[in-house]
Chain A
Amino acid sequence: MTHIIDAMPLVGDEQELYDVAVLGGGNAGLCAAPAAREAGASVVVLESAPRHYRGGNSRHTRNLRCMHAGPSQLLTESYAEDEFLSDLLRVTGNNTDEGLARLVIRGSAGCPEWMRRFGVRFQSSLRGTLHLDRTNAFFLGGGKALMNSYYAAAERLGIRVMYDTEVVGLDVLDGRFRGATALAGGRSLAIRAKAAVIAAGGFESNLDWLREVWGEAADNFIIRGTPYNTGTLLRLMLDAGAQSVGNERDCHAIAVDARAPKFDGGIVTRLDCVSLGIVVNKHGERFYDEGEDFWPKRYAIWGSLVARQPDQIAFSIVDAKTADKFMPSVFPPMAANSIRGLALLLNLLPDTLDATVAAFNAAVRPGRFDHAVLDDCRTDGLTPEKTHWAQRIDSPPFWGYPLRPGITFTYLGLKVDERAQVLMRGGEPARNIYAAGEVMAGNILRKGYIAGVGMTIGTVFGRLAGEEAARHASR
């Protein structure tokens, strides 16, 4: 089977034969490329985005999770293989390929040192906003700085990087990659290589595809990361007979401020006040226990909770008592001195919101508020109850934040083996096609998520895919 989109004439100037073509220039791609180059291969990276927006979702990240035996400059205490694995099993409900998971976990131990060779810098663990210093190594300056380091290293190593170059067609015959077609500034290019690494992320930015899966609700989703992860390569590979992992409907989504931009709003659009107050839908009614568990353990369910509400919108409401208890938000709160006034600002019916708040306030049982523990402040007699951190909402000014589902990434991916080789539907590995990063993360996480594991998977598998692709090309 050959899959080429051949609407435009091919331009002849890219007929050079590379050893390895890396398709997608995020973290996984930029780990694969230098790994392949250092193994002696000639390498080209094709990246959809223009230079400024290179680096996909990876440019929005801040850390990766690393197993380690003892404290170091970047990580405190220790984090053993089994603990890492049990953390992973817990969030995925045991739904993982343990062999691949262990491969990632063991590989993670060497990541910081390997990354440093390419100029990547880390924060020291002494200070940090999040309490993840034991398990996660933080990039100095975040993911964009990380990607800048990798791209500079790629240039030093003599890797060809083509920006603004979107792969739109793959020439794959019986599981063998022969070339790719790309669109570069309106021109069509053919790129030939002895091996390919697919590192183009999920399909979270493809609004049509999201609509296919989610229906009209998808129109109200906000895409937290890059607009360039359209899933084109995922679809082309599936069409070419690759085996999939994960469910098309599964995605990681959190509740973000509804005023966030449609794409690329990144980390700053999240809202950390949900557990401190109440959340109502557009009818002014509560729909879920806001105090179920610590916010970091719960924030990832709120994306789908909001997605299931009418018009995919909800409102977090807090009062003056809690104003300084959460990370400041990038958008100012809607503020009013009465609940009715706030309702008007939020476009809710004043009577219903007033009734909801009154009922909530009446149900709050006395307790000692402590946001650092699962405290005994709860409601009694509500559906749903709020089981922790329930305090009356009675101190003006009242603040409201509108919420929408914000998709981080999708889980559907390509099945791979322990050499990062893509598996075809018959179970046999594709001869010269490898995958790394979000596009194969579903092998390890089909659902659930623990902070920093996406970048770990991309780094370990990116490096592996690059090395394996280079080895194949040298044969």
Chain B
Amino acid sequence: MPADELIRHGQHVMTVCNACRYCEQYCPVFPAMEQRLTFATADLTYLANLCHNCGECLYACQYAPPHEFGIDVPRTLAKIRARSYEDYGWPPFLAVAFRRHNLLTGTGLAAGLIALMFAATLVGNGGTLPRPAGDSDFYAVVPHDVMVVLFGGVFLFALTALWIGAVRFWRDLDMEGVATLARDFRALGRALRDALTLRHLHGSGADCTSAEETRTPWRRWFHHCTFYGFLSCFASTSVAAIYHTVFGWQAPYAYTSLPVLLGTAGGAGLLVGLAGLLMERRRRDPALGDPAQDGLDQSFIALLFLAALTGLLLLVLRERAVMSALLIVHLGVVLALFLTLPYGKFVHGIYRTAALVKYARESLRV
């Protein structure tokens, strides 16, 4: 659907909802909508990112397709959400380039990077892969400095792109700006609590629905596994970096050390969570989502899954000969993951939290 047609449909949907309001206690989208009489693109972007796609309002709607009003809130908001990922992505040319990116292009990018790194390693080592004997020395395969420059660079790039996207999103959404935000401690606290507990996946007292009257807690729990798994891996890497730079302790760390424990737990959380989320997606009524967005989501899920999988394998097999190859595969996947991070599913966490902050501010004001 072209952008303006999508916005027009979004306006139609919200206008009908605003005259109806039957869904007002399912989630924050409806109370936020009720505070508006007209819906500009920025309003729709806000509402779309506030929606957690719990699904209830599709089945509750007496005007759902094939009714001539064609009210399909979850799908319409999903489409507008996907658009906002593209519209706020930075730099814009990459956001556009990645907009139709999918499982194939995501894994393809990873494969390309892996091939490149293999080639570079082969060239750098006179045509053979280095074989560190038994002492799991990653830096013998990819030198520490290369690792820092390459990954530090990509990481900084992703962080910058995410930050700029978030700031642009915030500016469009909230005219008062970030300046007064610090004073809104309560709003911030409430939004963070709601985001970290995924409150709106069970906000109306029951879990979100995957098909009419089928409500299960799985989507929420798998998401928790994924999110906290991701955080744990992130923490593991951070601790390792501190060990290395502050204390000068060299990797590999013992199986009982903090980075390894955090990494293992996080990796396991990611594997379980992501596999579960994929399964839940398959079980879900397709009418709830935007089919065009499936590729984007699958790519993110697949790359994150592969990163976790290869990371864990690396840990287990770090003293075996396959380690060098595995390390390169792992690093290639992680690179691809970070490069696509600012343009895919990952940003939903940032935009949704921003929308929750705005919602908390609005509702604490009234």
Contact = CB atoms under 8 A, between A and B. Distances in A.
A144 B61 contact: yes
Contact of B62 (A266, A324, A329): A266
Contacts of B26: 140-141
Nearest to A142: B22
Contacts of A68: none
B19 interface: yes
Interface string B8-26: 0000000110111111111
Contacts of B68: 261
Contact of A144 (B37, B59, B205): B59
Interface string B170-213: 00000000000000000000000000000000001110000011
A129 B21 contact: yes
Given A143-B62, A144-B62, A124 B25 contact: yes
B63 interface: yes
Contacts of B63: 266, 268
A152 B212 contact: yes
Interface string A139-174: 111111100110110000000000000000000000
Contacts of A62: 22
B56 interface: yes
B279 interface: no
B67 interface: yes
A123 interface: yes
Contacts of B276: none
B57 interface: yes
Contacts of B57: 141
Contacts of B116: none
A328 B204 CA distance: 25
A60 interface: yes
B24 A268 contact: no
B31 interface: yes
A52 B59 CA distance: 10
A24 B14 CA distance: 32
A371 to B, nearest CB: 17
Contacts of A148: 59-60, 212-213
A145 B66 contact: no
B213 A140 contact: no
A264 interface: yes
Interface string B253-282: 000000000000000000000000000000
A264 B25 contact: no
A145 B37 contact: no
A11 interface: no
A52 B34 CA distance: 27
Nearest to B67: A264
Given A119-B213, A121-B204, A140-B204, A60 B37 contact: no
**Interface magnitude class on chain A:** 20 to 34
B59 A127 contact: no
A211 B43 CA distance: 46
Choose among B22, B34, B57 the residue with the greatest number of A CB atoms under 10 Å from its CB. B22
B362 to A, nearest CB: 14
Contact of A140 (B25, B37, B61, B66): B25
Given A119-B213, A141-B26, A328 B60 contact: no
A328 B22 contact: no
B15 A324 contact: no
A152 B213 contact: yes
A52 B66 contact: yes
Contacts of A121: 204-206
Contacts of B21: 129
Contacts of B15: 328, 330
Interface string A94-138: 000000000000000000000000010101100111000000000
A267 interface: yes
Contacts of A139: 22
A195 B275 CA distance: 51
A332 B343 CA distance: 37
B214 to A, nearest CB: 9
Contacts of B31: 127
Choose among B20, B206, B212 the residue with the greatest number of A CB atoms under 10 Å from its CB. B20
Given A127-B24, A142-B20, A149-B213, 13 more contacts: A52-B66, A60-B62, A128-B24, A129-B34, A141-B22, A148-B213, A151-B213, A267-B19, A268-B19, A268-B69, A328-B18, A328-B19, A328-B37
Interface of A: 52, 59-60, 62, 119, 121, 123-124, 127-129, 139-145, 148-149, 151-152, 261, 264, 266-268, 324, 327-330
Interface of B: 15-16, 18-26, 31, 34, 37, 56-57, 59-64, 66-69, 204-206, 212-213
15 contacts: A121-B204, A121-B206, A127-B25, A140-B204, A141-B26, A141-B56, A141-B57, A142-B62, A149-B213, A151-B213, A152-B213, A264-B67, A266-B63, A267-B20, A268-B20
